[in-house]
Amino acid sequence: MALKIPDSMDEVVYWTNRNIDSGKVIAWARRTACPACKKGMMAKPSEKGKIKIRASYYICTECSHKIDKAEYEDTLTAEIIYTCPHCGFSGETSVPYKKKKTQGVEAVIFSCDKCKEKVLITKKMAEPKKKKEKV
């Protein structure tokens, strides 16, 4: 597949580089072109050079077309380069950039190409809850 890591943070909506147990994950979601004018890129709005990171919408840099945050992020694809924490396999994959609630945390979920185990990309400090064993 040969995924290309973005050269600049201006190209991405989401970026993470982290260790998950004994594995590693580098994941990103690239910005897309405006669906209305096809010229500009969709981005968070900015005022006086400062990006409004908590804005609930994305806006086109050329034509000022607005799209709701949830609607826009559902169209994105997360590109992932990983080393599986379960089997040690190194691979690449692309999955829809949709955060799902699992084990008590929101995460982008993908499966290892070799062992088919699920790998969770959670928020930085969020730890998935462990299942209690029955005695």
Which pair of tokens denotes residue 39?
């010229």
Judge whether residue 135 has pLDDT over 90. Answer: no
> Rg of the Cα trace of the chain?
17
Q: What is the pLDDT of residue 130?
A: 74
Which residues, at least 6 apart from 54, have a Cβ–Cβ distance to it below 8 Å?
none
What are the tokens at 61? 């840099």
| Distance set, CA 20 to CA 23, 68, 121, 126 (Å) | 5, 31, 8, 12
pLDDT at 27: 95
Average the pLDDT over 70-86 and give the result.
93
Q: CA geometry: angle at 56 spanning 50 and 62, to 5°?
A: 60
Instruction: Examine the pLDDT at 1 and tell me if it is beyond 60.
Output: no
Tokens of 66: 């607005």
